[in-house]
Amino acid sequence: MPDILPSADFDFSGRSALITGAASGIGAAMAHWLDARGIAHLVLVDLDADGLTALSLDCKVERVAGDVSDPAFWAGFADRPAFDHVLVNAGISDAFPIAGADFARWRRVMAVNLDGAFLTLSAVLGAMQRAGKGSVVVTASAAATKPEATTAAYAASKAALVQLARVAAKEVAPDGVRVNAIAPGGVDTPIWDGMEFFAGMAKDAGSREAAIAAMGKMATPLGRYASAQEIAGQIGFLLSDMAATITGAVLASDGGYTL
């Protein structure tokens, strides 16, 4: 049996990682988490160039502003060496009823959340397979399994991500590469700030923080939402050697929301 004890402290020294959706929220928290654990090289991708620039990290960092849903963007990754770790995290949200929906809004969510994830995996898995090692985590959502009104585009994209991750895991496992998904429930990230209903909640509650706390108390048996830093730690476990025999799994981290 291989000895994995040297990695028990989550030492990522000498390794490289790609994070999409890295400018804020879970992606930014993951960049800081890996940086604190010795990662040697981070490639951070986001449309928000200013957000990427604002990240202060100690390791070698490449900040790449681009649209993950654009196949031409990923052509630039064809000749890169294999990453040791990849977080497929770029995503957007929108809320609207199915009846009478604007198809362009549906396609926008699908393009970023699903097409972007497929293109990311397609761009990086081949090199990882040839290297015979590596681990990937795809950021799905509790919305993949629990329906809520007006979440059709977001929920469907996240449900598809779960199966995409599982299929990828099956394809690359013989080459020593692992692929897992994490399915957070509510997380305190900037994704809420783009939703009209949340702006109203924050106004009524008196602050953004109070609105997040009220939603967590209402929606979860544990009575709170997660922080981006907590989710980053859980992703870090899945990426690490401590999860060496875990692949094709979906880690629900939702405070009991889907119970």
User: Hey, what amino acid is at 230?
Assistant: E
Q: In whole angstroms, give the CA distance from residue 9 to residue 41.
A: 19
- List the domain range (segments joined by +) for residue 203: 189-224
The pTM of the full predicted model, rounded to 2 decimals, is 0.93
Q: In whole angstroms, give the CA distance from residue 79 to residue 171.
A: 21
Is 55 in the same domain as 114?
yes
Listed in sequence order, the residues at least 6 apart from 39 whose beta carbon sits closer than 8 Å to its beta carbon are: 12, 13, 15, 16, 17, 59
Is 62 in the same domain as 180?
yes
Q: Summarize pLDDT for 174-193 with one digit per residue, the tens.
A: 999 999 999 999 998 887 88
Q: Are 188 and 226 in contact (CB under 8 A)?
A: yes
For residue 197, give both structure tokens: 């209903």
Is 107 in the same domain as 147?
yes
Q: What is the DSSP letter of 137?
A: E
Q: Is residue 258 part of a domain?
A: no
Residue with tokens 């604002």: 54
For residue 211, give both structure tokens: 């609105």
Tens of pLDDT along the chain (259 residues) come to 344 444 456 899 999 999 999 999 999 999 999 999 999 999 999 999 999 999 999 999 999 999 999 999 999 898 999 999 999 999 999 999 999 999 999 999 999 999 999 999 999 999 999 999 999 999 999 999 999 999 999 999 999 999 999 999 999 999 999 999 999 999 988 878 877 778 888 888 889 889 899 889 999 999 999 999 999 999 999 999 999 999 999 999 999 999 9
Total domains in the fold of the chain: 2
How far from chain centre, in Å, is Cα 52? 16
Catalytic residue among 77, 154, 225, 257: 154
Is 154 a residue of the active site? yes
Domain CATH number, residue 170: 3.40.50.720
Q: Summarize pLDDT for 84-101 with one digit per residue, the tens.
A: 999 999 999 999 999 999
Q: Is residue 87 part of a domain?
A: yes
Is 101 in the same domain as 194?
no
Residue with tokens 């048996």: 221
Q: Three-state DSSP class for 7?
A: helix
Q: Is residue 109 part of a domain?
A: yes
**What count of residues does the chain have?**
259
Is 213 in the same domain as 112?
no
Mean per-residue pLDDT over the chain, rounded: 94
Q: Are 239 and 137 in contact (CB under 8 A)?
A: yes
Q: What is the DSSP letter of 206?
A: S
Is 201 in the same domain as 234?
no
For residue 116, give both structure tokens: 């972007």
Is 156 in the same domain as 138?
yes
Q: Is residue 126 part of a domain?
A: yes
For residue 36, give both structure tokens: 């604190």
Sort 154 into a burial class: Cβ within 10 Å, 0-12 / 13-18 / 19+: buried
Is 94 in the same domain as 42?
yes
For residue 188, give both structure tokens: 């305190």
Q: Is residue 6 part of a domain?
A: no
Cβ count near 70 (within 10 Å): 13
Is 237 in the same domain as 137?
yes
Sort 190 into a burial class: Cβ within 10 Å, 0-12 / 13-18 / 19+: middle
